[in-house]
Structure 1
Amino acid sequence: MRRSPMPPRSAPMKANAFARGERIEAREIAKAKVEREKKHKCAVRTCRAEFVRPQPFVTWCSPECGTVLALAKIEKQRQAAGKAERKSDKEKLEKFKRRADHVADCQKAFNAWVRFRDRKEPCIDCGRRAGAGSLTGGDWDAGHYLSRGSHPHLRFDVRNVFKQLKGCNRPGGTTAASFRAGVIARIGLAAVEALEADNEPRKYSVDQLIAMTAHYKQLLKNLKAAADTAPA
């Protein structure tokens, strides 16, 4: 005996799907309503008043605060543009630098590192300490025991350069004997004699000078970071 076919159920299924869709839509509407009525804090740091956003993108509570945010955005864009322009100018200038300019850049980075390396040491020459002298210039130089003029190959030799009071590093401010005695006390007689006997020429390429400049800048950065985290 053949069974009669099942009656079609498409109508109830469609009704259930429609009802489910209505419930989801109702929840979304309710959620959007709650979100619209939710209070937010004004994005202006000096205000931070609570308000209901008229539109999702509005982050200010009043026209005055909107103006403050708009001006801040314009200023931020101006600073970003200025930074990009300075970077571009710097890159252009780098292309026109001579080797002597790269030597000067490297010397500046090296000297800054030497001054900070020796920040807790007295003057290599006279043994005095400056009261509130700056390690970025101020009362201190990075003094070369064997001068850069007579020994240019030792201008970046760590055995040859020490923090020195500006007065001692000026013509007539010191004697070779007192400077030598200070260096011997710091690194030892054998190291000083080896330094004095070192006549090996150093001829740095532009690429090497650029790399050395970056190296000494990084060394200084590392020293400062270590000093900031060191216990007092």
Structure 2
Amino acid sequence: MSIAAKPPRAKKCKNPACGISFPPQRLGQAVCSPKCGLAIKDVNQEKARKSLAQIERKEIKVRKEKLKSRADHAKEAQAVINRYVRLRDAHLGCVSCDKPASWGGQWHCSHFRSVGAAAHLRFNLWNMNKSCSACNNFLSGNIAGYRPKLIEKIGQTKVDWLECNQDLARHDIPYLKRLKAVFAKKVRRTEQRQEVSHSWSAM
């Protein structure tokens, strides 16, 4: 008496667009039909292409990073910190004039002592404050208005310190990279807090 062979156990087709159950006709069969086999092959080739493109992008990024000068790193760090200052002072008006926080124009980050005159203070947060584009661009910071409002904001002692400080700049590339990373994190956290605050105020 012969024992009937058990039918093969049904498998799920590996083609994500198909996914039907089928009885495999051979060992290791992963798809239900040649059509699904071609589809899987195309998907795998696309994944390989994307993976290769991602590796190439990373390599290009690494090469570009190596070619950056100290000035490039300083510019990137400055942009991130400027963003942080505008977020920090979002509730305040212009530090140099009477424009309120509700003013609809473009806001800048203005240095009390300019980068050219005091490069060592270019990343000092006391020295950086939110300003309207008119004061920062066309009035060179409008220092006549800036100074009294800065004294009101941070106090006479700190303003005196900024005006008298003559230290030398020590912004090497590792320092600039750390600075950019730290303030990028501060920007993300500040943006998240402000989004939550706006959500609550809108309820």
Interval of TM-score (by shorter of Structure 1 and Structure 2): 0.7 to 0.9
Residue 105, structure 1, aligned to residue 72, structure 2: no
Report which structure shows greater RCO (CA 8 Å, sep ≥6).
2
Residue of 122, 128, 131 corresponding to 1:164: 131
CA distance in 2, matches of 1:224, 1:145: 25
Q: Tell me the residue number matched to 1:52.
A: 21
Q: Tell me the residue number matched to 2:150.
A: 183
Alignment gaps of 5+ in structure 1 = 1-21, 134-138
Q: Tell me the residue number matched to 1:86.
A: 57
Question: Map of 1:12-161 to 2, 5 A cutoff?
Answer: 33=9, 36=10, 43-44=16-17, 51-53=20-22, 55=24, 57-58=30-31, 63=35, 67=39, 74-126=45-97, 127-129=99-101, 139-161=106-128
| Structure 1 residue 43: Cα displacement | 3.5
Amino acid at match of 1:212: L
TM-score (norm 2): 0.74
| Structure 1 residue 83: Cα displacement | 2.8
CA distance in 2, matches of 1:61, 1:220: 52
Distance 1:174 1:194, change over 3 A: closer
Identity %: 26
Amino acid at match of 2:180: T
How many residues are paired up? 191
Amino acid at match of 2:62: E
Distance 1:63 1:108, change over 3 A: same
Between Structure 1 and Structure 2, whose CA radius of gyration is higher? Answer: 1
Alignment gaps of 5+ in structure 2 = none
| Structure 1 residue 213: Cα displacement | 1.6
CA contact (8 A) 2:73 2:176 kept: yes
The CA RMSD measured in Å over matched residues stands at: 3.5
Residue 196, structure 1, aligned to residue 167, structure 2: no
| Structure 1 residue 73: Cα displacement | 5.3
